[in-house]
Amino acid sequence: MGLQIRDERQMKALTGLSQDQFDHLLPFFSALYETTQQKTYAEGVASGTRRRKPGGGSKGKLPTMAEKLQFVLYYYKTYPTFDVLGTHFDMARSKAHENLHKLSPILYDTLVHLDLMPYRELSTPAELKAALQGGDRLLIDATERAYHRSHDEAKQREHYSGKKQHTLKNTVMSLPNKVIAFLGRTFSGHNHDYSMLKQEFPPELDWFTGLHVHVDLGYLGVRSDYRGDQLDIPTKKPRKIQKNPNPQLSDAQKVAIRF
């Protein structure tokens, strides 16, 4: 059955990519898929467990390469259960699970081949600058996602974010064109955004010298702890008090928030 995508907005909502980005990915994904199939076939012939050539037999529920790519992108964009995933693609949940684990490594290899996978660890400022692909502007933030609530009280405290949720968090560094250059390691929800940054990027190194870096108010202290001439952090809006019943930021302060 596949995804019934009607327009560009649905394309981005269901796969995370524009049609042009999808079309760019597809031939590389297809080539790696065929290479994987040929390797599996050769190994099967060598072991005596395979006689049918690649492509033989029924075509299954994902007959085209475009549908295979849509399938794996849809999963990672929306994270449905396997019951929901199978329903969307007219297959049993066990088959949805099987297809996902078959196609996920191929998607990963495709993104690595196209140099689209974010760095997971950066050891030196030189490696950070290399990850920026020649740019000098960087947006730093933390992403947070829900995590199941454990029955163990100690684990509950570890993952409680303080916002009535149990979560996991990662530091994300992205470029102005929205390409993610770095995805940090996973922390439990009680960790503060700024403490995560300092653990992965120790302030004693010149990480941000020569870069234009923008952070939000979760990174208070970045200007005093890190060296760099362009560490932008927005001004916090004043609290409403009797002498200032309608607090506002100045035009200059509002402009400084934009990246």
β-sheet bridge partners, residue 63: none
Average pLDDT over residues 196-202: 96
pLDDT cut 90: percent of the chain above it = 54
Note the pLDDT of residue 245: 65
The percentage of residues in the chain with a pLDDT greater than 70, rounded to a whole number, is 77
**Is a pLDDT exceeding 70 seen at residue 158?**
no
Q: What is the pLDDT of residue 165?
A: 72
Token code pair at residue 180 = 């993610």
- Predicted TM-score (pTM) above 0.75: no
- CA dist 118 and 242 (Å) reads 48
Q: What is the mean pLDDT of residues 164-176?
A: 87
Which of 104-108, 144-148, 233-237 bottoms out in mean pLDDT, i.e. has the lowest? 233-237
127, 119 in Cβ contact below 8 A? yes
> Given pLDDT bands bounded at 50, 70 and 90, which one contains residue 56?
low
pLDDT higher than 70, residue 216: yes
Domain boundaries, the chain: 8-113, 125-257
Band (76; pLDDT cuts 50, 70, 90): very high
165 vs 17, more confident: 17
Residue 58 banded pLDDT, cuts 50, 70, 90: low
Torsion of CA 74, 75, 77, 81, to 10 degrees: 120
**Cβ atoms < 10 Å from Cβ of 52:** 9
What does the buried/exposed string (b/e) look like for 229-241 if buried means 16 or more CB atoms within 10 Å of the residue's CB? Answer: eebbbeeeeeeee
Average pLDDT (226-255) is: 70
What whole-number distance in Å separates Cα of residue 208 and Cα of residue 204?
11
DSSP string, 89-114: TTS-HHHHHHHHHHHHHHHHHHHHHT
How many Cβ atoms sit within 10 Å of the Cβ of residue 187? 22
Q: What is the pLDDT of residues 139-156, one digit of tens each?
A: 999 998 887 666 666 655
Q: How confident is the model at residue 37 (pLDDT cuts 50, 70, 90)?
A: confident
**Mean pLDDT, all residues of the chain:** 84
Which of 43-57, 108-122, 227-241 is the least confident region?
Answer: 43-57
Mean pLDDT of 167-193: 90
What is the structure's pLDDT at 40?
78
In this predicted structure, the answer to whether residue 167 has a pLDDT above a threshold of 70 is: yes
What is 186-241 written as a DSSP string? -EETTS-HHHHHHHHS-TTS-SSTT-EEE--GGGTTHHHHS--SEEE-PPPPPPPB
